[in-house]
Structure 1
Amino acid sequence: MLLNPLARGGRVITGLFGRGRQLLTRTPEFRRGFRTWRGERPFWAALFTFAAGLPILYWPYAHLSLGGIPLALSTTSGAGSLLIGTLLPALGVALCWRPHLRVFAGIATLLLALISFPVANFGGLFLGVASGLIGGSLACAWLPPRADEPTTTAEEGRSGT
């Protein structure tokens, strides 16, 4: 990839398959826009909630070997793990795209994380329970920004940066 730092508005990246086409990236604008988007929703609650479902979903279906001895945690908790492990990432996505559902999604995350402890192999070996409790608590505690507060882009525009 060839970089041209003299291009206006960012870097020009010419890829291997571009055949003369240039992709103009505007990283400062993207970062500022992402920061504004992230500030308008419970982003960290959604991230922890999404991450809570992954170990709960993984461990019952993983087949590991420890020194040649097969190790499987698949028990009767497979169906419960599948249900809880798919609902938690769905709640994480719902927190990002529908922030007004934060209390419902937070309470549902807390309940699913607590239910996963006895149902789904100690809640994904404690990783899913811990991440779910953090994500659910953050979702319930998050408040949307007030309308009379200036956004970060307006503050940056006023300060001249």
Structure 2
Amino acid sequence: MFTEIPPHAEYFMTAPRFAVVGRVLEDTSRFDYKVLEWYTDRNLPVTGVRAPRPGFDNAKPVLGHKVVDDVTQLPDLAETSISVILHPALGIKMMQSLFPEQRRPEAEPYAMWFQPGAESAEIFDFVKARGIGDKVVIGDHPCILVSGDDARKKAPKSALA
């Protein structure tokens, strides 16, 4: 069992805004929904992100929150921490679009938290190669559903005000 909150998780929680990237978002049994609900229950500003697909209407809010088609459509991306609940093959493509070789920090997310199962060796290597390990929670860590509240408590108070 995980006992320590990664420092990057504390940093993640200091963002002014949050987003949840998932494939479904509306199915109450799936983790993308549960993570979106976690933010909602804490009255944190959150946006859902789901690629357009048949059967899902991104114009319709989920849990009262706006849903956008792509992480690059998030308003104030540089002030948004993103929880990732995607298959790693989709996650690496997202990372490549968010952190291209010619980096532009003003167009990058505040932080990212890869939930267990959304990470891969390829994503880990990408994070290391781009030098963004200080703003990405990835690796041997708990889910935000388990450690998010503790990370919020440990985060600098001034950033949460």
Q: Report if TM-score (shorter chain) is over 0.5.
A: no
Query: Greater Rg, structure 1 or structure 2?
Result: 1
**Higher RCO, Cα 8 Å, sep 6+:** 2
Q: TM-score range by the shorter chain?
A: under 0.3
When the two structures are superposed, what TM-score results if normalisation uses the length of structure 1?
0.22
Higher helix residue share = 1
